[in-house]
Amino acid sequence: MTYVGQSATASERNESGEPTPKAGLRDVVAAYVGLTKPRVIELLLLTTVPVMFFADRGVPELGLVVATVIGGTFSAGSASVFNCVYDRDIDEQMRRTRRRALPRHIVSPAAALVFGVILAVLSTVILAVWVNGLSAALSLGANAFYVFVYTMLLKRRTTQNIVWGGLAGCFPALIGWTAVTGELSWTPIVLFLVVFFWTPPHTWALALRYREDYANVDVPMLPVVKSAREVGRQVVLYSWVMVATSLVLWPVADTGPAYPVAAAVLGAVFLLEAHRMHARARDTEDLTVIQPMRLFHSSNLYLSLLFVAVALDPLLTR
């Protein structure tokens, strides 16, 4: 497979020894989109837009929502592109990531880097002009933190990589709030902390599933250096703190009754799944028994529904 902008030659061959065909336009477009990690963007926007509803105590202005979503999408996409460029060496060796654009050589590192810079500039301009300077600064800060602190400094050096590196993924809650209000307060900080404590259980469940991949490329994710039992124990601890933090929003933001009920029910279900995974991991390292992806998918559903409850609460209590 050739880089974009390079010509295909007969000497370039795939694993079977046949010449590798040049990527078509659809493949190239899909590759660039894939570099932005759309599923990650969806999750980040899910913690942005509901907070805008909550901050507005109703339905925010459509134009503001659109500008915040576009700016946030470009910012998150930019951070993901930079991550793909920096991690292309280990991505090529991991089952979960080897089909990305850079390991497949559909896009060159230089082209991807330019793409990431363009997205970052567009994001900052859109948020600064059509939202406000504070939201733009927070977005740019989150982008820089993810690239320089998590990707370049923490990821390959410490088991706490995702704990502190995950701070970047918490910023959308702050950005959604400041987009509407133009200032920070304790309410978005509580939601920021919910995402902060949610990130380790969510990520460790996925890392447990792919721990051999991380071990092969010397990335010290917690499941690589600790037993599944210890991973399960820490997942339970973070899950309890996460649920407790989610309930703090009730008195801090003076929500209606809908939110605390939803938070309590969703939290109970999530805690049950976390404890079940821990129980399955106590006496075995067999992933078919532990089933970490059950918790991973449950964590996505939990965060999605919790922030839907955040958005609906002011609409139900008007």
pLDDT in tens, 130-168: 999 999 999 999 999 999 999 999 999 999 999 999 999
Whether the predicted pLDDT of 18 surpasses 50: no
User: Hey, what are 20's tokens?
Assistant: 């590798």
Which residue is associated with the tokens 């301009």? Answer: 125
Q: Percent of the chain, pLDDT > 90?
A: 86
pTM of the model: 0.91
Do the beta carbons of residue 40 and residue 78 sit within 8 Å? no
Kindly indicate the confidence band of residue 202, based on its pLDDT and cuts at 50, 70 and 90.
very high
44, two tokens: 């980040």
Express each pLDDT in 99-127 by its tens digit.
Answer: 899 999 999 999 999 999 999 999 999 99
Tell me which residue of 107, 156, 115 sits closest to 2, measured CA to CA. Answer: 107
Q: Sorting pLDDT into bands at 50, 70 and 90, what band is 317?
A: confident
Could you give the CA distance from residue 78 to residue 120 in angstroms, rounded to a whole number?
5
Helix, strand, or coil here: 19? strand
What confidence score (pLDDT) does residue 1 get?
36
Q: Break the chain into its structural domains and give their ranges.
A: 1-182, 185-318
Query: Which residue has better confidence, 317 or 243?
Result: 243
Residue with tokens 């060496």: 89
Query: For residue 23, what are the β-bridge partners?
Result: none
Coil, strand or helix at 50: helix
Looking at residues 50-77, what average pLDDT do you find?
Answer: 96
Largest pairwise CA distance in the chain: 68
Residue pointed to by tokens 């920070």: 184
Tell me what pLDDT residue 130 has.
98
CA angle 86, 90, 96 (to 5 degrees): 110
What pLDDT is recorded for position 25?
83
How remote is the C-alpha of 218 from its chain's centroid?
22
Q: Helices marked H in 106-185 — which ranges? A: 109-130, 133-144, 161-165, 171-181
Q: Which CATH superfamily is domain 1-182 in?
A: UbiA prenyltransferase (1.10.357.140)
Amino acid letter at 315?
L
Task: Let me know: does 168 contact 146? Beta carbons within 8 Å.
Answer: yes
- Share of residues in the chain with pLDDT > 70 (%): 92
pLDDT band at 24 (very low <50, low <70, confident <90, very high): confident
Which is nearest to 10 in space by CA: 21, 229, 271? 21
pLDDT of 119 reads 98
Note the pLDDT of residue 43.
86
* Confidence band for 23, pLDDT divided at 50, 70 and 90: low
**Nearest-CA neighbor of 103 among 196, 217, 257, 26?**
217
The partner residues of 19 in beta bridges, in order of sequence, read 13
Pick the CATH number of 185-318 from 2.60.200, 3.30.70, 1.20.120, 1.10.3470: 1.20.120
